[in-house]
Chains A and B, each alone.
Chain A
Amino acid sequence: DQQVKQNSPSLSVQEGRISILNCDYTNSMFDYFLWYKKYPAEGPTFLISISSIKDKNEDGRFTVFLNKSAKHLSLHIVPSQPGDSAVYFCAASGWSWGKLQFGAGTQVVVTP
Chain B
Amino acid sequence: EAQVTQNPRYLITVTGKKLTVTCSQNMNHEYMSWYRQDPGLGLRQIYYSMNVEVTDKGDVPEGYKVSRKEKRNFPLILESPSPNQTSLYFCASSLAGGPSGANVLTFGAGSRLTVL
Contact = CB atoms under 8 A, between A and B. Distances in A.
Contacts of B34: none
B109 interface: yes
B99 interface: yes
Given A41-B109, A42-B109, A42-B110, A102 B101 contact: no
Contacts of B108: 43
A18 interface: no
Contacts of A9: 40
Given A43-B4, A97-B98, A97-B100, A102 B105 contact: no
Interface size class for chain A? Answer: 20 to 34
Contact of A93 (B4, B56, B100, B109): B100
B110 to A, nearest CB: 6
Contacts of B41: 2, 104
A51 B101 CA distance: 7
A104 B80 CA distance: 27
B38 to A, nearest CB: 9
B74 interface: no
Interface in B27-68: 31, 33, 35, 40-45, 48, 50, 56, 58-59
Interface in A93-112: 93-94, 97-100, 102-105
Contacts of A98: 31, 33, 48, 50, 56, 98-99
A49 interface: yes
A104 B40 contact: yes
Interface string B88-116: 00101000001111101101111000000
21 contacts: A2-B42, A42-B109, A42-B110, A43-B108, A43-B109, A44-B43, A44-B90, A44-B107, A45-B107, A91-B43, A93-B100, A94-B100, A97-B50, A97-B98, A97-B100, A98-B31, A98-B56, A100-B33, A103-B42, A104-B40, A104-B41
